[in-house]
Amino acid sequence: MNDLALGLIALIVAAVPVSLGVLLLADGAGLDGEGRTRRRIRIALAVLAVPALAWTGIAAWGWAGAAHLEPLCQAFATPEYRATTPVQPGDILLDAVPTASPPPPWTRAFGAQLITDPASPAAAAAPLELEVRRLTHHQSFWFKVEMDRFRLLQRQWGSVLAEGDEIWITAGRARYHCGIVSGRHTVRADRSPWPGGDGVAKFVEQGRQPAPAVDTPMTPATLRP
């Protein structure tokens, strides 16, 4: 759906309830027919409806953003775990771009296990690495969709043990997100602040465990010797 079509849909959604409200007020006040006073009152009601139309339009913009993000939540919000054997606990080196100073709040859930300074003496010996990247999935006039991508790596082999995303959408003044912390459904950002909590730490802990076995359906191809 292109930007113009989406804008027209949002305008219609915003205009319908406001127009109905103005008509109900006019009908309730007995403003049918002609007359200078009645015309002035109808004009005043129309002017007063403009702020309501703007507010409803902004709200519809945000609701459209949440609806736009929902399919991406179902596609990307479930982490992927790839470990085949248990991984021994050890220090984890944080490799985050862009670098945040101070480190994001979710790092507190790791305690001293997460090394945020790559120049520290313990960084070279850390067996695991938590790679974090901020990516722009797509952007239009109405929406901007970004992803915080997390990858747990074994540094010795460079193998990926786990991969997961926290997905964001900005729609006007509204921001929604979903992912490895907030779950598979959209959550308004002001009701679920990010990036706090222990969701990333739980993701890393699960990434150290062997991935669940996937049942392979019995077909002629799988039964062939």
DSSP line for 154-174: ETTTTEEEEEEEEEEEEETTE
Task: Report pLDDT for 222.
Answer: 43
pLDDT of 221 above 80: no
User: Lowest mean pLDDT: which of 178-182, 189-193, 214-218?
Assistant: 214-218
Decide: helix, strand or coil at residue 183: strand
Task: Report pLDDT for 6.
Answer: 46
Decide: helix, strand or coil at residue 40: helix
pLDDT of 186 above 50: yes
* Residue whose structure tokens are 């009645």: 38
pLDDT category at 37 given cuts 50, 70, 90 is low
Residues in the chain: 225
Task: Report pLDDT for 130.
Answer: 93
User: Lowest mean pLDDT: which of 22-26, 100-104, 202-206, 219-223?
Assistant: 219-223
pTM of the model: 0.69
More confident residue, 73 or 39: 73
pLDDT category at 151 given cuts 50, 70, 90 is very high
More confident residue, 193 or 136: 136
Most confident of 6-15, 99-108, 204-213: 204-213
Rounded average pLDDT over 72-98: 85
Task: Report pLDDT for 35.
Answer: 57
CB atoms within 10 A of CB 7: 15
The first and second tokens of residue 76, run together, are 């990307």
What is the Cα Rg of the chain in Å?
A: 26
Residues in Cβ contact with 141 at an 8 Å cutoff, skipping those fewer than 6 apart? 3, 7
Rounded average pLDDT over 74-90: 86
pLDDT of 187 above 50: yes
User: Lowest mean pLDDT: which of 15-19, 74-78, 126-130, 149-153?
Assistant: 15-19
